[in-house]
Chains A and B, each alone.
Chain A
Amino acid sequence: MKHELARYRWIVIVAAAAAVLPRLLPDRYAIHLAVMIGINTIVALGLNLLMGYAGQVSLGQAAFVGVGAYASAILSANMGISPWFAMAAGVALSALIGAAVGVPLLKLRGHYLAMGTLGFGMIVHIVLVQWESLTGGTIGIMSVPPLKIGGISFDSELKMYYLVAASVIVAMALAANIINSRVGRAMRAVHGSEIAAEMSGVDTARYKLQVFVLSAAMAGYAGSLYAHHTTYVHPDSFGFHYSIYLVVMVVIGGMASIGGAIFGAGAVTLIAEHLRSFEEFSTVAFGFILVAIMVFLPAGLWRGTAEALRRLRRTAPTPGEEA
Chain B
Amino acid sequence: MIPSGDQFLQYLLSGVTLGSIYGMIALGFTLIHNATGIVNFAQGEFVAYGALIVFTCSGVLGLPMPLAILIAVVGVTLVGAALERAAIRPSRRPSVITLIIITIGASIFLRGTAMWIWGPDALPIRHFSGEEPIAIGRASILPQHLWIMGIVLGTMVALWLLGEKTQVGKAMRACAMDREAAQLVGIPASRMVMLSFALSGTLGGIAGAIVAPIAMGQYNMGIMLGLKGFCAAILGGMGNPLGAVLGGLLLGTLESLGAGLSPIGWSGFKDAIAFGIMLIVLLAKPTGLLGRGGR
Contacts and interface: CB of A to CB of B under 8 A. Distances in A.
B87 interface: yes
Contacts, number: 130
A248 B39 contact: no
A104 B283 contact: yes
A83 to B, nearest CB: 30
Contacts of A115: 39, 230, 234, 278, 282
Task: Determine the main DSSP class of B at the interface with A.
Answer: helix
A-B CB proximity, top 10 nearest: A287-B109, A283-B112, A290-B105, A287-B108, A284-B112, A291-B105, A119-B275, A295-B91, A126-B272, A298-B98
A116 B278 CA distance: 8
A285 B105 CA distance: 10
A17 interface: no
A130 B268 contact: yes
Contact of B104 (A104, A244, A296, A298): A244
A8 B213 CA distance: 59
Nearest to B234: A115
Interface in B232-254: 234
Contact of B101 (A111, A251, A284): A251
A77 B294 CA distance: 47
Given A112-B286, A291-B106, A123 B101 contact: no
Contact of B109 (A120, A122, A279, A284): A284
Contact of A111 (B100, B109, B110, B278): B100
Contact of A298 (B87, B91, B109, B278): B91
B164 interface: no
Contact of A119 (B92, B116, B231, B294): B231
Interface of A: 51, 57, 59, 104-105, 107-108, 110-112, 114-116, 118-120, 122-123, 126-127, 129-130, 240, 244, 247-248, 251, 255, 279-288, 290-291, 294-296, 298
Contacts of B271: 122, 126
B174 interface: no
B108 A51 contact: no
A283 B286 contact: no
B269 interface: yes
A51 B97 CA distance: 9
B150 interface: no
B90 interface: yes
Interface string B46-88: 0000000000000000000000000000000000000000110
Contacts of B230: 115
Contacts of B234: 115
A114 B282 CA distance: 11
A237 to B, nearest CB: 17
Contacts of B37: 111
